[in-house]
Amino acid sequence: MQSSTRFGYRAREMTIANMVTPRIAILISGRGSNMLALLEAIVAGRLNAKAAVVISNVESAPGLEAASKQGVETLVLSHKEKTREEHDRQVIAELNTRDVSLVCLAGYMRLVSAEFLRAFHHRVLNIHPSLLPAFPGLNAQEQALRHGVKITGCTVHIVDEELDRGPIVLQRAVPVNDSDTVESLSARILEQEHIAYPEAVRIVLSEGFVVDGRRTRVANQS
């Protein structure tokens, strides 16, 4: 029984050739600054991965042009007039065509279906601008300010069926200043997001990464 496998059934199919440079996909709906942070980490050699494709469900997403400028293939797959399952099936087909082994949601404003999560078991990541489980959902930075917390941050986690609840890979803390507005706090969290996401992807792609219930770790590292 392989409840804590690295990439589920796919891991067993991997050959040395396709493990050398894992192929990742980045799903966006908007600005795409986290997407760019991932692409920059790849270009800089800090992340051993190939960006196989950037997919947006929104045609006007500014991140699409930014990805093209980096020479990465982009696709628009609109969700309009489709059920979630129909849309996700289309996305899954495009990912499989490109032999993608890890999917990074980066400001992707869609819930993914159970079918998507089955197709990419433990291989869908998301970044969220709070220290989960605090402040899930929309406007996390505003929620943090309203609550009056003194420390917030960002979380990269594995996506499961529940919104912003999956096993956590990495978190970075950001202090809240007395003078903070939603904008100033969001900007400081975003800086940390751009560090956290490439680092989390590196961890997930590293040899020995395991998901054990709610906990994740790299085996042989304490």
Catalog residues that contact ligand GRF under the rule CB under 6 A.
28, 30-34, 106-107, 127-129, 190, 193
Least distance (Å) from ligand GRF to the CB of residue 149?
17
Cβ closer to ligand GRF: 19 or 187?
187
**Calpha distance 20→48 (Å, rounded):** 8
Q: How far is the CB of 121 from ligand GRF (least distance, A)?
A: 21
Tell me how far apart the alpha carbons of residues 137 and 213 are, in angstroms, rounded to a whole number: 22
The least distance separating ligand GRF from the CB of residue 49, rounded to whole angstroms, comes to: 17
Long-range contacts of 216-222 (CB under 8 A, 24+ apart): 216/158, 216/167, 216/168, 216/169
| Residue with Cβ nearer ligand GRF (11 or 182) | 182
Active site (annotated) includes residue 121: no
The residue sitting closest to ligand GRF, measured at its beta carbon, is 107
Question: Do the beta carbons of residue 199 and residue 175 sit within 8 Å?
Answer: no
Residue 221 CB, shortest distance to ligand GRF, in Å, is 26
> Exactly one of 87, 121, 122, 128 is catalytic; which is it?
128
Residue 197 vs residues 57, 67, 89: alpha-carbon distances, Å: 21, 16, 26
In this structure, are residues 39 and 70 in contact, taking their beta carbons and an 8 Å threshold? yes
> Do the beta carbons of residue 30 and residue 3 sit within 8 Å?
no
Residue among 31 and 188 whose Cβ is closer to ligand GRF? 31
Sign of the CA dihedral with 206 first, then 211, 217, and 222 last: negative
**In a 3-state reduction of DSSP, which class is residue 42?**
helix
Q: Which is nearer to ligand GRF, 10 or 200 (CB)?
A: 200
* Shortest Cβ 105–ligand GRF spacing (Å): 7
Nearer to ligand GRF, 190 or 205 (CB): 190
Which positions are catalytic? Answer: 128
